[in-house]
Amino acid sequence: MSNYAIQVEGLGKEYIIGGAEQRHDSFREMLTGALTSPLRKLRKLGGTASEEERFWALKDVSFNVEQGEVLGIIGRNGAGKSTLLKVLSRITSPTEGRVVTRGRVASLLEVGTGFHPELTGRENIFLNGAILGMSQRDIDRRFDEIVQFAGIERFVDTPVKRYSSGMHVRLAFSVAAHLDPEVLIIDEVLAVGDAEFQQRCLGRMRETASGGRTVLFVSHNLSVLQQLCPRSILMDRGELVTQGTTSSVIALYRPPPDVREETPHFENKDFVIRGLEITCDQNEGRTFGKNDAIAISFAVTATRRLDNLHLGYALYSASDRPLWWSFFGDCTGRIGLDEGTTVLRTVIPAYLLNDGEYIVEIIGAYHRGRWVMPPEHRDCFASFCIRGGAMGNVLVSNTNRPGFMFPLFPWTIELSACD
């Protein structure tokens, strides 16, 4: 008998774009549509469907997942990752091909997925447990652990419509992970939580896998994927490009820095970044000394007021190790941009970075929501070099010190009391 937890064979999913009424692929979609837009069908009774455009979100995707395996799914926005997870979660049905899953599947694809906003956290825990096929006794047994992990003890009897998006995702993950699913499917929603909660989630997913259960994990954070997932698949334009060790898949998805062309511009429907500049008052070009303060600046033109947009940059070494993130709201406390053009500027202080090459990548996300310019995506980035660093310090005889940093810390010399 096969030891596969998931088998995907020739999977395809086609959508119809345009004015034609789309059918519901599942009872959940039908119920959601009836509750949110009860008059939608009535509005269409008197009209005719507009021309249809057909779009294949998935095409001929095949792979297997072993029982107890943690599989990463990598790909750019629009690659088909979320559609694939919806099919695997049985939220939507495939147009062609087939999926075989063995055991109970719990999924967390969107913030608040499966929650009824008018019900309390307590009621939603029991509702989701029942949907997963759990008995009331089993849910009772895990209830305190679920609430404690989510950190919502004070709000467990509050309707979830009053929860913040962070509370939503903490409770949703806790429910999905603690009700003993054989297969756990997690999308990028963990980016909503804070760093401490994300680490707890990653730890819980490791525990789930070590217990013989299967985890599928989508994230734009490639460093986390490399830590958590021994094997990954790469998606692009609805097709499976390759599968293998996560390191080899990441190498194909994101070529080394020396073969990339810089992309100092970015554009979407909400804003445009017109240029990313890395400059220094003392030096021209992109090569700086250890005693140079390096300015990072870019102009953002917003097509409308964006009240909850975070923009900043991530700094990487030449080997693509992340060094830090910095957002313009970190010190100002301000979130969002006014309509029109704004210039954002920050400075990397002198005597901070060691000798080497570095990559600056613009990153952005909506507050407590989705990434719009995810880290390690390279939608808008540029590079620069530091020459000298600790190697240029006469006190170390031109022997380079390890590490990416070369900060100058203040020291004092004090005489011993016994002298």
Could you give the C-alpha distances from 48 to 20, 23, 51, 136, in angstroms and in order?
Answer: 8, 16, 9, 48
DSSP string, 93-156: --SEEEEEE-S-EEEE-STTTT--TTSBHHHHHHHHHHHTT--HHHHHHHHHHHHHHHT-GGGT
Residue 103's pLDDT band (boundaries 50, 70, 90)? Answer: confident
Cα–Cα distance, 174 to 177 (Å, whole number): 5
The residue among 224, 106, 277 whose CA lies nearest residue 176 is: 106
Report whether pLDDT(416) > 60.
yes
| Residues of the chain above pLDDT 70, percent | 81
Strands (E), 162-279: 183-186, 214-218, 231-236, 239-245, 265-267, 271-279
Q: How confident is the model at residue 97 (pLDDT cuts 50, 70, 90)?
A: very high
Distance CA 90, CA 134 (A): 18
How far apart (Å, rounded) are the C-alpha atoms in residues 99 and 96?
A: 10
pLDDT exceeds cutoff 60 at 390: yes
- Tell me, what's the pLDDT at 48? 45
Neighbour-count burial of 135, counting CB atoms closer than 10 A to its CB (0-12 exposed, 13-18 middle, 19+ buried): exposed
- Which domains are assigned to the chain? 4-253 (3.40.50.300), 257-396 (2.70.50.60)
Mean pLDDT value of segment 117-130: 90
Q: Across residues 122-150, what is the average pLDDT?
A: 88
One-letter amino acid at 42 equals L
* Residue 383 token pair: 């590079």
Question: Predicted confidence band at 41 (pLDDT cuts at 50, 70, 90)?
Answer: very low
Given this model, what pLDDT does residue 411 score?
84
Q: What is the pTM of this model?
A: 0.60
Average pLDDT over residues 229-246: 94
pLDDT at 30 over 70: no
What was the pLDDT predicted at 193? 58
Of residues 273 and 414, more confidently modeled: 273
Q: What's the confidence (pLDDT) of residue 393?
A: 54
Q: Is the pLDDT of residue 40 over 60?
A: no
Higher pLDDT, 154 or 31: 154
Which pLDDT score, from 0 to 100, does residue 180 have? Answer: 78
Span 50-56, average pLDDT = 70
**Tens of pLDDT, residues 220-236:** 777 778 888 999 999 99
- The mean pLDDT value for 65-81 works out to 89
Using the predicted structure, report yes or no on whether residue 32 has a pLDDT greater than 60: no
Tell me the pLDDT tens digit for each residue of 301-359.
Answer: 999 999 888 899 999 987 778 899 999 888 877 778 899 999 999 999 988 998 888 99
CA dist 38 and 32 (Å) reads 10
Provide the CB-side half-sphere exposure for 298 (13 A, CA). 27
The alpha helices in 179-270, defined as continuous H runs, are 195-210, 222-228, 246-253
Computed over every residue of the chain, the mean pLDDT equals 81
Res. 22: pLDDT tops 60: no
Percentage of the chain with pLDDT > 90? 32
In this structure, are residues 402 and 391 in contact, taking their beta carbons and an 8 Å threshold? Answer: no
Please, are residues 318 and 260 in contact by the beta-carbon 8 Å criterion?
no
Query: Is 90 exceeded by the pLDDT of residue 244?
Result: yes
Side-chain-side CA neighbours of residue 191 (13 Å):
23
Please tell me the least confidently modeled range out of 36-45, 147-156, 384-393, 397-406: 36-45
SS3 373: strand
| pLDDT (0 to 100) of residue 419 | 55
Least confident interval from 32-46, 128-142, 230-244? 32-46
Local confidence band at 278 (pLDDT 50, 70, 90 cut-offs): very high
